[in-house]
């Protein structure tokens, strides 16, 4: 006899369906699903937030604060996407070539929409990971809280999507363009204000039942949790708010429910999050967007695009079984925070990163070695005609750390004048592989020779190579002859790519002087099982990296343009992600920490 009991969807399946419909709605512009879901929840009348509080007690505060951040982060990610297109269009309104400007607009919109699509996936994965940390009997209610928040944020996602689709009709009218921007900001404010109402349970209806007296509100609970986590980033006292979350009233010892605006928590967006958008398309990375209108008008905190969530050890699939979820690490009390062996902070942003930062790790012991920044002046091959002068066909830069790790990237100069490369791609510093001469990274050694003129023999053992997926036996070496004016002549032999034969060569290198106090950060990826290797080296105002995943390869080069321009990308080839943006904010890292992106885990191997 068939059972009459109706089988219910598991909460992971419901979140997966919500994620699918959010993608579909963003692409089609039809948000009927979320309006229907919102109406159904209103008619049903279930107070999921009160139910969760009854199940979890005071522990519900931190969970709902994190869910608030996840949903609010989705809203602000869409606002950032619109603002990027808006700024580019506004800056180009005086150009005469409107057809070219319209083509660029379409590309900008497409790129920003793609970034929001990635953010949707990561937000949902973060929510699943957070929910899996909770007790089994509370997981379903936490999922209900998250889905309720998504239905509210979907309204502003719809507004942003429609305004982006209408941009081409307003590109010649600054007033209408400004109206679109104000409409987007208003929708974000409305959505986040709605989140304040439901997540902070501003419910004065006593018929819902007696609520247990809280020792702290959501704001103070979240502040207490993340105040301890903030020791990972700073050695300042807990009262100093340099972490991503801070309480506006840290001195308050106890509060009831959230009341006046004076006790509203204050969220600050670290600049390294915006500087980590390596996988996105902007050529320069702005500082955190100032959403002061929300804080001023609604007396609530400014949501950042990096909602912190409780720790977890491994990235979880939405359909993983509950019994496969790793246990939640116990949170130590505040005065023992400096004894945490490993604290995990999950950070969500348009680039979608997981930072795993140990708070106390002994520094590694490196041999004393001077960092270096080197550019190649020219190269001459054995097969070159004797009458031909030395030439330099590439823009070559080598960054070497004190620990002898280096990244060497050589881009053909013809990329700047190739008519086959669209101007938009050149503006975005994105080039095809046809303009890559060679890029590799690895470990260098240097030893003295018997020559009395300070000649040394240098060897570069390759760890990642654009020409060779298998680098187990790839290395090259040369004799280094010091020259006047900071130049060094290198001689050796290697394969000439023009002839395919091993030939002798001469290269002239120029070392760029680095003054004292230069910041250095090195991150390394090594996963032989996944055939993934990568290295990012930052020396002072320059940063570059290479990464390989089986047959795929990618590289990036960035340069600091001063306080006005910030970090600006000089070149990107390939579509693999690498943590250049993380290395740019060296002060936010700790030695031995890890940066997770998908299945890849990058280790912070040098920091000075």
Q: How many residues are recorded in the chain? A: 608
pLDDT at 93: 61
pLDDT tens-digit series, residues 354-401: 333 333 333 333 334 578 999 999 999 988 887 788 889 999 999 999
Please provide the DSSP assignment of 109-139 as one string: HHHHHHHHHHHHHHHHHHHHHHHHTS-HHHH
Contact 565, 571 (CB under 8 A): no
In the structure encoding, which two tokens stand for residue 172, read together?
A: 């010649």
pLDDT at 180: 86
Please provide the DSSP assignment of 53-114 as one string: HHHHTTHHHHHHHHHHHHHHHHHHHHHHHHHHHHHHHHHTTT-S-HHHHHHHHHHHHHHHHH
Contact 604, 521 (CB under 8 A): yes
CA angle, 254 as apex, 251 and 259 as ends, to 5°?
95
Q: Which of 184-193, 209-218, 470-479 has the lowest mean pLDDT?
A: 209-218
Q: CA 456 to CA 488: how far, in whole Å? A: 11
Helix (H, G, I), strand (E, B) or coil at 514: coil
Please provide the DSSP assignment of 162-219 as one string: HHHHTGGGTTT-HHHHHHHHHHHHHHHHHHHHHHHHHHTT----GGG-PPPPPSS-HH
CA angle, 595 as apex, 365 and 539 as ends, to 5°?
55
CA angle, 403 as apex, 546 and 551 as ends, to 5°?
20
pLDDT tens-digit series, residues 281-338: 333 333 333 344 334 443 333 333 333 333 333 344 433 433 333 444 444 433 333 3
CA angle, 508 as apex, 446 and 472 as ends, to 5°?
45
pLDDT tens-digit series, residues 306-318: 333 333 333 444 3
Band (pLDDT 50/70/90 cuts) for residue 543 is: very high
Q: List CB contacts of 47: < 8 A, sequence separation 6 or more.
A: 203, 208
In the structure encoding, which two tokens stand for residue 401, read together?
A: 């750390």
pLDDT tens-digit series, residues 70-114: 888 888 888 888 888 888 877 766 555 555 577 777 888 888 888
pLDDT at 499: 87
Q: How far apart are the first and last CA of the chain?
A: 71
Q: Which of 33-47, 186-200, 206-220 has the lowest mean pLDDT?
A: 206-220
Provide the percentage of residues in the chain whose pLDDT is more than 90: 24
Nearest CA to 424 out of 107, 59, 2, 29 is that of 107
Kindly tell me the burial class for residue 459, based on how many C-beta atoms sit within 10 Å of its own C-beta (0-12, 13-18, 19 or more). middle
Delineate the domains of the chain, giving CATH numbers in brackets.
11-203+214-280+288-357 (no CATH), 372-607 (2.40.128.320)
Q: Can you name the residues that pair with 254 across neighbouring β-strands?
A: none
pLDDT at 411 over 90: yes
CA angle, 313 as apex, 312 and 317 as ends, to 5°?
75
Give the residue, 511 or 240, on which the prediction is more confident.
Answer: 511
Give the residue, 501 or 233, on which the prediction is more confident.
Answer: 501
Contact 222, 59 (CB under 8 A): no
pLDDT at 533: 95
pLDDT at 228 over 50: no
pLDDT tens-digit series, residues 50-74: 788 888 887 887 888 888 888 888 8
pLDDT at 538 over 60: yes
Nearest CA to 604 out of 409, 363, 441, 408 is that of 363
Q: CA 549 to CA 78: how far, in whole Å? A: 30
Mean pLDDT of the chain: 72
In the structure encoding, which two tokens stand for residue 375, read together?
A: 């550019």
pLDDT at 520: 94
Kindly tell me the burial class for residue 161, based on how many C-beta atoms sit within 10 Å of its own C-beta (0-12, 13-18, 19 or more). buried
Task: Give the residue-averaged pLDDT of 437-446.
Answer: 94
Give the residue, 457 or 323, on which the prediction is more confident.
Answer: 457
Contact 537, 544 (CB under 8 A): yes
Kindly tell me the burial class for residue 5, based on how many C-beta atoms sit within 10 Å of its own C-beta (0-12, 13-18, 19 or more). exposed
Residue found under tokens 């590289």: 555
Give the residue, 320 or 125, on which the prediction is more confident.
Answer: 125
Contact 339, 320 (CB under 8 A): no
* Pairing assessment for the beta strands 600-607 and 594-597 based on DSSP bridges: antiparallel
């Amino acid at each position: 006899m068939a059972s009459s009991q109706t089988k219910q969807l598991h909460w992971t399946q419901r979140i997966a369906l919500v994620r699918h419909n959010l993608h579909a709605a963003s692409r089609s512009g039809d948000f009927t699903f979320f309006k229907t879901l919102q109406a159904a929840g209103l008619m049903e009348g279930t107070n999921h937030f009160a139910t969760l509080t009854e199940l979890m007690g005071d522990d519900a505060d931190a969970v709902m604060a994190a869910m608030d951040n996840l949903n609010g982060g989705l809203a602000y990610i869409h606002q950032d996407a619109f603002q990027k297109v808006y700024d580019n269009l506004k800056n180009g309104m005086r150009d005469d070539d409107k057809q070219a400007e319209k083509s660029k607009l379409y590309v900008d919109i497409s790129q920003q929409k793609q970034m929001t699509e990635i953010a949707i996936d990561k937000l949902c994965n973060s929510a699943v990971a957070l929910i899996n940390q909770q007790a089994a009997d509370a997981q379903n209610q936490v999922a209900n809280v998250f889905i309720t928040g998504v239905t509210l944020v979907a309204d502003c996602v719809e507004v942003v999507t429609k305004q982006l689709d209408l941009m081409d009709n307003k590109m010649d009218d600054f007033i209408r363009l400004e109206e679109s921007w104000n409409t987007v900001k208003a929708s974000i404010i409305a959505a986040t204000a709605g989140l304040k109402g439901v997540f902070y349970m501003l419910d004065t209806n006593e018929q819902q039942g007696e609520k247990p007296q809280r020792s702290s509100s959501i704001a103070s609970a979240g502040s207490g949790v993340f105040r301890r986590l903030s020791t990972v980033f700073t050695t300042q006292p807990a009262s100093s708010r340099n972490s991503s979350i801070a309480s506006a009233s840290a001195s308050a010892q106890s509060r009831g429910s959230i009341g006046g605006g004076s006790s509203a928590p204050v969220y600050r967006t670290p600049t390294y999050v915006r500087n980590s958008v390596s996988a996105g398309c902007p050529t320069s990375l702005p500082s955190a967007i100032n959403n002061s209108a929300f804080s001023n008008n609604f007396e609530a905190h400014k949501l950042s695009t990096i909602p912190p969530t409780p720790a977890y050890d491994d990235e979880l699939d939405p359909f993983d079984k509950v019994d496969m979820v790793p246990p939640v690490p116990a949170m130590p009390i505040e005065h023992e925070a400096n004894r945490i062996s490993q604290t995990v902070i999950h950070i969500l942003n348009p680039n979608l990163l997981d930072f795993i930062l140990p708070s106390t790790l002994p520094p590694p012991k490196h041999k004393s070695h001077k960092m270096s920044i080197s550019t190649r002046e020219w190269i001459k091959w054995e097969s070159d005609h004797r009458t031909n002068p030395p030439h330099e066909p590439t823009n070559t830069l080598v960054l070497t750390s004190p620990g002898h790790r280096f990244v060497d990237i050589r881009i053909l100069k013809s990329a700047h004048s190739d008519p086959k490369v669209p101007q938009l791609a050149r503006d975005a510093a994105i080039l095809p592989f046809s303009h890559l001469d060679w890029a590799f990274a690895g470990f260098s050694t240097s030893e003295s020779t018997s020559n009395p003129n300070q000649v040394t023999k240098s060897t570069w053992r390759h760890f990642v190579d654009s020409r060779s997926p298998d680098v187990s036996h790839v290395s090259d070496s040369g004799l280094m002859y010091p020259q006047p004016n900071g130049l060094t002549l290198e001689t050796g032999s290697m394969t000439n790519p023009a002839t395919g034969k091993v030939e002798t060569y001469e290269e002239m290198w120029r070392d760029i002087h680095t003054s004292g106090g230069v910041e250095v950060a090195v991150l390394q990826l090594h996963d032989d099982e996944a055939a993934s290797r990568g290295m990012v080296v930052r020396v002072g105002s320059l940063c570059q990296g290479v990464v390989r995943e089986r047959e795929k390869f990618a590289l990036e080069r960035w340069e600091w343009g001063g306080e006005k321009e910030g970090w600006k990308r000089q070149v990107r080839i390939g579509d693999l992600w690498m943590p250049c943006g993380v290395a740019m904010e060296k002060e936010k890292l700790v030695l031995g920490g890890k940066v997770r992106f998908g299945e890849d885990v990058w280790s912070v191997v040098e920091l000075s």
